[in-house]
A and B are shown apart, each in its own frame.
Chain A
Amino acid sequence: MPKKEMIAMLLAGGQGSRLECLTRNIAKPAVSFGGKYRIIDFSLSNCVNSGIDTVGVLTQYKPFLLHSYVGIGTAWDLDSDTGGLHILPPFVDEKGGGWYQGTADAIYRNLDYIEQYDPEYVLIISGDHIYQMDYSQMLAFHKTQKADVTVSVIEVPMAEASRFGIVVTDAQNRIKKFVEKPKAPESNLASMGIYIFNWAVLKKALVADEAASHSANDFGKDILPMLMTQKRKLAAYRFQGYWKDVGTIESYYDANMDLLAKQPEFDIFKTHKNIYTNSGIYPPHYVGKKAVIKNSLVTNGCTILGEVIHSILGFGVYVGEGTRIEDSILLPNCQIQQECFVRKTIVGENTIIRPYCTIGVKTNQQPSQSGITVIENHSEIMEDTQLEEGKILYRPTVA
């Protein structure tokens, strides 16, 4: 294998359990986003647009859709003989094996994979954020700082800081302190879970961490604090731009709806670098004679006969006559038949809602998750169903 300056390791094995039924059967990076995309598209496109041609994708939780979606990376021009995209699931070897125990463990178990490219630097990213970033600029910063590790950080509102790994820096952007989810945060610089390591430093740290019996094998909780105590040089790269974690129903919903703003902060129309996606074969969408569409995103393959207001429609969605969709996200290939009213709802992929249903009915009680209703993929909602707002509807499991 030719030597690489930097390769990327993309952590895509998490369950994303706070996305409730949206991730019951698929991994979070494979969840549909913005009509046309899946969450992992943003990280993969960033890699390609930053000139990284070797990406290891670490998978673990319900990987079937993710594997078939990512394939050998063709959609992102990552099918290459001298690198390219490789799916790295947990595996066994002569000493046994088992599941990845944490983010650091997942990388540790694939040291051989990294070794074969003998890179100078390793970029660690995850597949569950919506953002556009040029990693090559971060690498340039890493080099001028002569750092061992560079952590990409972003300013977050002080009130939310305790949800993140918080970084305290000096005037030269050196990290003085790193605390994972502090109760009393000392700054509002949050780690974005994006790290550039000198390969030698990473390797040594992972081996030491694996030997430590009490470690949770996590980059934020274990590796970074360990390197801090070793007085390694950790730098903070301040990222400016849109970056959104889509880990909860509310943040997922909000990040989608952000795209509908008049002047979106993250404008998929104005980015001059492509966001690549593995799109299926669909014809242009059709808008019927009585259709009304306002403030919405509509993807190929849709047939819209009813009203769609302030909503996002994925591939191949069908909206029947007399149906009104409001403030909702309809995931690929779902079907809302005639005379329905769907409000502030995330409708799962391939779900069918039969005629005369009302989804997201307002109640007197305080609804959970800001009143967002969620229906799992492949569900079927029978005729005339009324579903209250804030409900999470799982598909009945076959015993």
Chain B
Amino acid sequence: MRKVNGIISCNYEGIHSRELSPHRPLAATMVGGRYRLLDFALSSMVNSGVTTIGVITPEKYRSILDHIGAGKPWNLDRKNGGIYILPGSEFGLFSQGKKFLMADLQRNVEILERSSVEYIIVSGCNQVMNVNFTPVVDKTADLQADICLIYKNIKGISADEASGQVLTLAADGSVLDIIMNPDAAGSKEPRPWFIDAFVIKRSLLLKMTDGYSGHGNMDITQIIQRNIQRLKVQSYEHKGYLGRVESLRSYYQCNMDLLNHGVRHELFLGENKIFTKVKENPPTKYGAWSQAEDSIIAGGCTVNGKIERTVLFRGVQVETGAVVKNSIIMSDSYIGKDSILENVILDKYTYITDRSQIKGKAEEPLLILDRRMKLIHREKEREQV
């Protein structure tokens, strides 16, 4: 593998991403029982041999710093390279909808200047994927391209993805155009959707930060599109799974996709693992009356009720008689006796009282932010002290 560096832009807020959580950035959103969205891009880079990675932070970045720490779970606590936290520059309206804000790079240009590598892998932070970037870098170098955009052929699209970009490709794979916000109705044929990850020459990226010094609110992909005639832009097809979290609905879908055997194997059980921050939890305990089917369950849970087509995060308690169906239950939540939950997403520390009944719609799951378990935990800690 050629020596390359990585940049992950977490300073991204989509039109709908606030639906998920008002207090947590998209990159730190919890998926799949024990991961945060950022883990997928980060692990993909690490598994591709990248040992120097910059993470551009959004406005409320406490949870991201807490999660990454010194980068140990990704083997990024190193003397040479490692993880670099790059403070995001502009927030709110200025950057909304922008995935790769030029101002963020300009503010952190040192990471590019101090490096000596030829290529940089740039990725967004909201994709559920396990991508090997090595062949992408190789292709870029072999064809002596300036940029290589990664795409996936997707049939039709949901309204969420309307904010994405479709590539116009020539027969030789070179990119002729990038169509911003294409018609949501789309065509029935699969179209090459840009997956928010690309390889670019470091020298070119530096030139861009200089040349667009007065245009900090531009997205790098916009700059590429404007200069598409002058640059040698290639493409690379990602054939594996891609989930993209843009809204409550796509969040729900991405989690449910993981119940699929093939997707789970590709993401988690192959040679390249998805790394994440480790917490010390005991194994999950099933009681005498537990029933579980077609579900993903993280460590430290206590299951005494019934769960079906559900994702349980760490430390969730499901009491006897409770029935949880088609739901996502985030860490340390409590589901009281004989409660019935269907099509709901419970945020961290939610407390569901005994005999509650909460049902969302299948096409529009219900999100509950409660955090009462946090108070209960605190109370317990006080007792122990």
Contacts and interface: CB of A to CB of B under 8 A. Distances in A.
Interface string B276-305: 101010111111111111111111101100
Contacts of A294: 286-290
A296 to B, nearest CB: 5
Interface stretch (A128-136, A281-289, A338-346): A281-289
Interface stretch (A94-102, A268-276, A387-395): A268-276
Contact of B282 (A275, A281, A308): A275
A283 B274 contact: yes
A288 B293 contact: yes
A293 B293 CA distance: 9
Contact of A275 (B34, B280, B290): B280
A298 B283 contact: yes
Contact of B293 (A281, A290, A300, A312): A290
A298 B286 contact: yes
Which of A34, A275, A283, A291 is packed against the most chain B CB atoms within 10 Å?
A: A283
Given A274-B280, A276-B280, A297 B285 contact: yes
A272 B384 contact: yes
B385 to A, nearest CB: 10
B283 A286 contact: no
B264 interface: yes
Contacts of B289: 294
Given A296-B286, A297-B285, A285 B296 contact: yes
Nearest to B280: A274
Interface string A313-327: 100000000000000
A202 to B, nearest CB: 33
Interface string A355-372: 000000000000000000
B302 to A, nearest CB: 7
A322 to B, nearest CB: 15
A223 to B, nearest CB: 35
B295 A287 contact: yes
A173 interface: no
Indicate the member of A269, A276, A290, A295 with the most B CB atoms within 10 Å. A269
A293 B269 contact: no
Tell which of A272, A288, A293, A297 has the most Cβ of chain B within 10 Å.
A293
Interface in B100-137: none
Contacts of A269: 282, 285, 300, 302
B294 A284 contact: no
Contacts of A80: none
Contacts of B297: 284-287, 298
Contact of B294 (A275, A288, A297, A300): A288
Contacts of B293: 287-291
Nearest to A74: B72
B273 interface: yes
Contact of B283 (A274, A287, A288, A297): A297
A290 B32 CA distance: 21
Interface in A13-49: 34-36
A320 to B, nearest CB: 13
Interface residues of A, number: 35
Interface string A68-92: 0000000000000000000000000
Contacts of A251: none
Interface-centre pick from B274, B292, B300 (highest chain A CB count, 10 A): B292
A279 interface: yes
A283 B266 CA distance: 12
Contacts of B58: none
B38 to A, nearest CB: 16
Contact of A36 (B264, B282, B287, B311): B282
Interface centre among A275, A276, A286, A295 (most CB of B within 10 A): A286
Nearest to A312: B283
A277 interface: yes
Nearest to B310: A287
Contact of B295 (A279, A286, A308): A286
A299 B294 contact: no
Contacts of B283: 34-36, 268, 297-300, 312-313
Interface string B249-283: 00000000001000010011100011110101011
A294 B46 CA distance: 38
A234 to B, nearest CB: 33
Contacts of B285: 269, 296-297
B282 A286 contact: no
B33 interface: yes
A297 B295 contact: no
B231 to A, nearest CB: 38
Contacts of A313: 283
A298 B280 contact: no
Contacts of B312: 284
A286 B288 contact: no
A306 to B, nearest CB: 12
Interface core residue of B273, B276, B284 (most chain A CB under 10 Å):
B284
B299 A281 contact: no
B280 A291 contact: no
Contacts of B384: 272
Nearest to A313: B283
A312 B292 CA distance: 16
A293 B286 contact: yes
B286 A284 contact: no
Nearest to A75: B278
Given A281-B274, A297-B283, 7 more contacts: A36-B282, A283-B267, A284-B296, A289-B293, A293-B292, A294-B289, A296-B286
26 contacts: A36-B299, A269-B302, A272-B384, A275-B280, A275-B282, A279-B278, A281-B274, A283-B33, A283-B264, A284-B33, A284-B299, A285-B284, A285-B296, A285-B297, A286-B296, A287-B296, A294-B286, A294-B288, A296-B286, A297-B284, A298-B286, A299-B284, A299-B299, A300-B34, A300-B299, A312-B283
Interface of A: 34-36, 268-269, 272, 274-277, 279, 281-301, 308, 312-313
Complex A-B, nearest 10 residue pairs according to Cβ-Cβ distance, in ascending order:
A284-B33, A283-B268, A284-B298, A268-B282, A35-B283, A297-B283, A299-B283, A274-B280, A281-B273, A287-B292
Interface of B: 32-34, 259, 264, 267-269, 273-276, 278, 280, 282-300, 302-303, 311-312, 384
